[in-house]
A and B are shown apart, each in its own frame.
Chain A
Amino acid sequence: MQISKEKKLAMLRSLLLSRKFEEALTELCTIEGKVPGMMILCTGQEAVGAGVCAALQPEDAIITNHRSHSHLLAKGADPKAMMAEIFGKRTGCNNGKSGTLHLAVPEVNAPCTTTVVGAGVPIAVGRAFAQQYRQEKCVTVCFIGDGAVDEGSFHEAVNLASLWNLPVIFVCENNLYAGAQRYEEHTKVRNIADRAAAYAIPGVLADGNDVLAVYTAALEARGRAINGAGPTLIECKTYRWRGHGERDHQLYQPKEEIKAWQAKCPVAKLRGDMLAEGLISADELREMECRIDDIVHDAIRFAEESPYPESFEALEDVFA
């Protein structure tokens, strides 16, 4: 499939933004008391969010999970509002109610980040049902990890989506670990994509470190969905460079394994390919990276300078 230079540039920007945003968070997490709560990063997996979201239109929705940063940034969420939310500030995208774990950005049709593993699947199916009900030509993507396919909610919701031909794409980011449990230790099915057969929907395997492969698979799945052909399950095989969270010492992840996957870095791959193909010059790349560095620095400064919410604000937003 021919992918335009502009599309590739957009994906490169998206990959770099997510990587730099999270590298900054890794750094911030080493400063005691800087960022409250847990920090769950998708470093190394950015090609999935960048590739899938590049295949979407603004009116398409995404439902994501605790490892959400690249999905949300790729969907167009404001890095400043995200960073401020991660800091727990009033200017955050959810006024300090959600933090990094539950970021909700309905203005870019990313209304739900759920940390309950597998719980996004029924919600995405509901979102897709609304799109079908109103005969809209758009889709909902549900990002899940490999642990989620072991949840009952996954089974119930994928079955329903298949039965009703709903315009939904299930994107399973198989990063080889569910918590500390390696893939082989929690499921015997070799490929998660194979599970699609149980629901009579297409199951597609994609190299989750190749943003163009992910983009291509998502674009095809979107085409099927908006043409009434129902859902697709895409398994993107990738790897989690960091621990489950930043306080995880990764004792169960072999160092050589991490190194081997770092050698397959999705950012370096697209950057290298585009340089080699002459789609971007070294100078243009430097300029792009500088601009993204500025975006991340501005986001951090904005978050740092923003006020915390007043304690009484905790009482707001329970009911409409």
Chain B
Amino acid sequence: MQQLGMGQAVNQALREEMTLDSTIFLAGEGIGVGIHDSPMLPTYGLLQEFGARRVKDTPVSEAAIAGLAVGAAEAGLRPVIEIMFNTFFTIASDMIVNHAAKLRYLSGGRSSFPLVVRMKTGAGFSGGCQHSHNLEAWVAHCPGLKVVMPATPADAKGLLKSAIRDPNPVIFIEDMMLYYAPGPVPEEEHLIPIGHADVKRSGKDLTVVTWSKMLGVALKAAEQLAREGIEVEIVDLRTLVPLDKESVLSSVRKTGRLVVLHEATRTGGFAGEVAAVVMEEAFTSLKAPLRRVTGPDIPVPFSPPLERFYLPNEEMLIKAVKEIL
């Protein structure tokens, strides 16, 4: 099977879908002619392949880019826009939160908004806190948006293709650190339905629920724990909205223990939602209090040792696991 980074997998999904459906267009800052020109990046080569009519380099105007998607989607096109960094979502957010997410409801179901907002995210490159800030819990809190956050290149390809075909606004968040971590990706048509978690490792002793880049941390920690005879089950949510509660609950009912791991900051983070679902619906299965392993409640710092301090790692996860075993 081909080995691709997540950026290449996204690229392949875009290329395949654009070839199939002429209503798809891309818009964003530097998605055609960019300051970073690398085949590892998601929109590499698409301008040359599909032309300037369908690959729209825009001014530095996040609100206009997002509004472009809302208006064009209502009219029947399928925009896939890129907000360069998750942090810049703040300046596109009115279009996404008040419009993309709500206009269908406000129309009484008469309009639909089939659009995808791709956003890059993730700490780990000393970008500082105005480039690195995982805001998935913000968007997950807005009814009307689907939220996808893949952890592997194959999932990114399959989920992005589904996101583009979805009749609703989908927020698709890519961790940039994963662009450079190759993994197997099916070359053929590969669709993963939105709203389905994936058990990335089976185990009987404890459930780790995670998503995006933190899957790698969870898998490494699980290897170490396995050597000590502790079998961790890893549930990769892949989609935050709609949340695949059943996959989480059935794993917790089996293991009786839960740690939720995410890179985003702790307070108001999506781990709280996962924890609440488990407390409400699988409380009697729990043999111990659940734990959260998250970034601390600070902006993502710049200096490499500080940034390393910010990012949850294997040791933190292993410690949390052992606390409740």
Task: Spell out A's residues near B (CB within 8 Å).
Answer: 61, 63, 92-98, 102, 104, 106-107, 111-112, 114, 116, 119, 121-131, 133-134, 140, 152-153, 156-157, 159-160, 163-164, 316-320
Contacts and interface: CB of A to CB of B under 8 A. Distances in A.
Give the one of A63, A114, A164, A316 with max B CB within 10 A: A114
Given A111-B103, A119-B99, A123-B70, 16 more contacts: A98-B107, A116-B94, A123-B99, A124-B71, A125-B71, A129-B77, A130-B76, A133-B25, A140-B71, A153-B95, A156-B67, A159-B64, A163-B59, A317-B107, A319-B144, A320-B168
Nearest to A316: B109
B48 to A, nearest CB: 19
A157 B63 contact: yes
B229 interface: no
Top 10 A-B residue pairs of the complex, sorted by shortest distance between their CB atoms = A122-B67, A126-B71, A130-B75, A94-B108, A95-B108, A317-B109, A156-B64, A156-B61, A320-B167, A127-B71
A92 B79 CA distance: 30
A131 B75 contact: yes
Contact of B72 (A96, A126, A153): A126
Given A93-B108, A104-B111, A106-B111, A129 B98 contact: no
Contacts of A319: 104, 144, 146, 167-168
A318 B144 contact: yes
Contacts, number: 147
A111 B56 CA distance: 24
Contact of A116 (B61, B77, B98, B107): B98
14 contacts: A63-B71, A96-B108, A97-B105, A111-B107, A114-B99, A122-B63, A123-B71, A123-B95, A126-B69, A153-B94, A157-B64, A159-B64, A318-B144, A320-B167
Nearest to A109: B75
Give the one of B67, B109, B143 with max A CB within 10 A: B67
A314 to B, nearest CB: 10
Interface residues of B, number: 43
B112 interface: yes
Contacts of A104: 103, 106-108, 110-111
Contacts of A128: 71
B71 A160 contact: no
A160 B61 contact: yes
A318 B104 contact: yes
B67 A157 contact: yes
Contacts of B114: 320
A126 B25 CA distance: 12
Contacts of B103: 104, 111-112
A54 B54 CA distance: 33
Nearest to B25: A133
A268 B61 CA distance: 43
Nearest to B167: A320
Contacts of B107: 94, 97-98, 104, 106, 111, 317
B58 interface: yes
A101 to B, nearest CB: 9
Contacts of A114: 98-99
Nearest to B102: A102
A318 B102 CA distance: 8
B59 A159 contact: yes
A160 B258 CA distance: 49
A156 B110 CA distance: 28
Interface string B1-32: 00000000000000000000000010000000
A133 B63 CA distance: 20
Nearest to B100: A123
B74 interface: yes
B110 A125 contact: no
Interface string B85-103: 0000001001100110001
Contacts of A157: 61, 63-64, 67
Contacts of A97: 105-108
B117 interface: no
A127 B111 CA distance: 13
B73 interface: yes
Nearest to A101: B106
Give the one of B61, B70, B107, B144 with max A CB within 10 A: B107
Contact of A130 (B71, B106, B112, B143): B71
